[in-house]
Amino acid sequence: MARRGKDTIDMLLAESFKELTLKQPIEKITIKEITDRAGVIRPTFYNHFQDKYELLEWIISTQLLKPLEPLLENDMVTEALVLLFTNIKKEKEFYIRVSRLDGQNSFEDTVKACVKKTLLNVLRESSTGRQPKYAWLTPELIAEYYSQSMCCIVLTWIRSGMTVSPKELAEIYNYILTRSMADVLADL
């Protein structure tokens, strides 16, 4: 029951934060505004999150990436990508605004860290007991590589106004990932 209560509070704080983000720059949003809108007291926020940037990390990890794990674990990469891009597009204005975060708590760094952590979980689970073909080809390196490329695609798409459909973006990303650079250059 305690877990359910924590999840409910986390969700209330996340929704409050998202609503406030649509009205003012993230840098100006206070914890008090988030808690007032969520209907909880300020200390409750700090029982759940260190700051609003950790709350943003929770939103990305829990609401965007966690639903992808079962798909990735079952080799349904295209479906996972379409779901990810669709969920981002559903909250287009929120993600356009948070994508502008730069500096120490940049959206880019947050997305990379969250994607890397999610991919690492999936890769470690699927590679248990197997020897890699190359000693340096570790789950950490693979997760880092894909988190960098995913971040590039997602940020470019968000900042360009999300004009490409989630399905087409998934196809583009899969196309780039499954071909050599020489193949891609030949197709340009």
Lowest mean pLDDT, pick from 7-11, 41-45, 156-160, 184-188: 184-188
Q: Evaluate whether 8 touches 62 at the Cβ level (below 8 Å).
A: no
Q: Tell me the C-alpha distance between 87 and 170, whole Å.
A: 13
User: Domains in the chain, start-ordered, CATH in brackets?
Assistant: 1-49 (1.10.10.60), 51-187 (1.10.357.10)
The rounded percent of the chain whose pLDDT value lies above 70 is: 98
Check residue 2 and give its pLDDT: 55
Check residue 73 and give its pLDDT: 86
Q: With the C-alpha atoms ordered 79, 85, 87, 90, is the resulting torsion angle positive or negative? A: negative
Asked if pLDDT for residue 118 goes beyond 60, the answer is yes
The rounded percent of the chain whose pLDDT value lies above 90 is: 74
Asked if pLDDT for residue 186 goes beyond 70, the answer is yes
Lowest mean pLDDT, pick from 18-27, 34-43, 129-138: 129-138
Q: Tell me the C-alpha distance between 155 and 100, whole Å.
A: 10
Asked if pLDDT for residue 84 goes beyond 60, the answer is yes
Check residue 139 and give its pLDDT: 87
Burial 27-50 (b: 16+ CB within 10 A, else e): eebebebbbebbebeeeebeebbe
Check residue 90 and give its pLDDT: 97
Check residue 4 and give its pLDDT: 55
Asked if pLDDT for residue 167 goes beyond 70, the answer is yes
What global pTM score does this model have? 0.89
- Average pLDDT over every residue of 124-129: 75
Asked if pLDDT for residue 79 goes beyond 90, the answer is yes
**What is the distance of C-alpha 143 from the center of its chain?**
14
Q: Evaluate whether 167 touches 84 at the Cβ level (below 8 Å).
A: no
Asked if pLDDT for residue 134 goes beyond 90, the answer is no
Structure tokens belonging to residue 120: 């690492």
Structure tokens belonging to residue 176: 């780039």
